[in-house]
Amino acid sequence: MSFNEANTVEAFVRDLLAGPISAKPANAEQKPLPSYGSGPIGIGWCYAATAEVPRQIHELLVEPWLRNALIRLNPEIAAQPERADEVLYKLRAIVLSVR
């Protein structure tokens, strides 16, 4: 077996953040783990394989996940979910202006 970044550094960081990989559908609800710390279960991140991410390879943002996160994390957006669309519009404009 040859060593490369994908099977050494990338896997190490992924396992630190998400714990050992277990197959979960991407649309499954992702609940935080009950314990955070330097244990074998990671620090609460959830790993999603590339094939499970609902976006094209050239797209930067995973808009459905980002929209849900904006609503979940911001009380003002949760009160009016259409505000998430305004934020997404501005983020898209920033990404396009960089290109």
My answer on whether 2 and 37 are in the same domain is yes
CA of residue 9 relative to chain centroid, distance: 19
Q: What is the DSSP letter of 50?
A: G
Question: Following CA atoms 66, 64, 93, 71 in sequence, which dihedral angle do they give, to the nearest 10 degrees?
Answer: -50
pTM more than 0.95: no
My answer on whether 63 and 45 are in the same domain is no
My answer on whether 8 and 23 are in the same domain is yes
My answer on whether 41 and 25 are in the same domain is yes
My answer on whether 43 and 10 are in the same domain is yes
Per-residue pLDDT, 78: 96
- The whole domain housing 28 covers 1-50
pLDDT at 66 over 90: yes
**What is the CB neighbour count within 10 angstroms for residue 82?**
7
